[in-house]
Amino acid sequence: MPSVSETPFRLLPQITPENEHFWTGGAEGELRFLHCAACDTLVHPPQPRCPQCLAGGLSPRAVSGRARVATFTVNHQPWIPGFDPPYVVAIVEIEEQRDVRLMTNLVGCDPEAVHIDMPVRVVFEARDEGIHIPLFEPDPRGGEADPSGGGGDADR
Ligand SMILES: [Zn+2]
């Protein structure tokens, strides 16, 4: 069980066939998790079988990228070169399935304003080798559900 004080995502992850969808989905602006079609469950971290029903053959699926802050700490230590404190290390829960949690950094917000259950959305930080690190920023739409963009002014 990783602790919250562990450095999140600052060292580039080891890409494997099992987790490649997760680390490279940001190239298309997609946050992706393995999905079990047998029981309609998102599985994270990646593993060969669904922990719920033990089915194999999981395949990546894109989610909305919306999440909520489950817990966070504000780090004041400048132990990452080029990354100025204070910054926020958070665990976020994915909107589609709240037991899918990511350790990440919150960006684009005042660390003082961060709170538990704050609505956030994914942004990607492009790195070498096609890796896109998922970070999260405040979601201006708040917690309201987006009715799948049926309107005419949904350009982004
Ligand atoms: Zn399953």
Q: Measured in angstroms, how far is the CA atom of residue 51 from the centroid of ligand 1? A: 7
User: Which of 110, 118, 113 is CA-nearest to residue 140?
Assistant: 118
User: Do residues 103 and 74 lie in contact, with contact meaning Cβ atoms separated by under 8 Å?
Assistant: no
Q: How far is the CA of 18 from the centre of ligand 1 (A)?
A: 16
* Sheet bearing 59-63, strands edge to edge: 41-43, 31-36, 59-63
Q: What is the pLDDT of residues 11-37, one digit of tens each?
A: 788 899 999 999 999 999 999 999 999
Contact status, residue 99 vs residue 69, Cβ threshold 8 Å: no
Is residue 156 predicted with pLDDT exceeding 60? no
DSSP 22: H
Report how far ligand 1's centroid is from the alpha carbon of 32 (Å): 17
Q: How many residues does the chain have?
A: 156
How far, in Å, is the centroid of ligand 1 from the Cα of 56? 8
Distance (angstroms) between ligand 1 centre and the Cα of 55 equals 5
Determine how many CB atoms are found less than 10 A away from the CB of residue 78. 12
81 or 97: which leads in pLDDT: 97
Distance 43 CA to ligand 1 centre (A): 8
Phi–psi pair at 4, nearest 5 degrees: -65, -25
C-alpha 44 – ligand 1 centre gap (Å): 12
Average pLDDT over residues 57-74: 97
Q: Domain extents for the chain?
A: 20-138
Q: How many angstroms does the Cα of residue 49 sit away from the middle of ligand 1?
A: 8
Which pLDDT band holds residue 3 (cuts at 50, 70, 90)?
very low
Q: How far does the centroid of ligand 1 lie from the alpha carbon of residue 48, in Å?
A: 11
Residue 132 reports pLDDT greater than 90: yes
* pLDDT for 80 beyond 60: yes
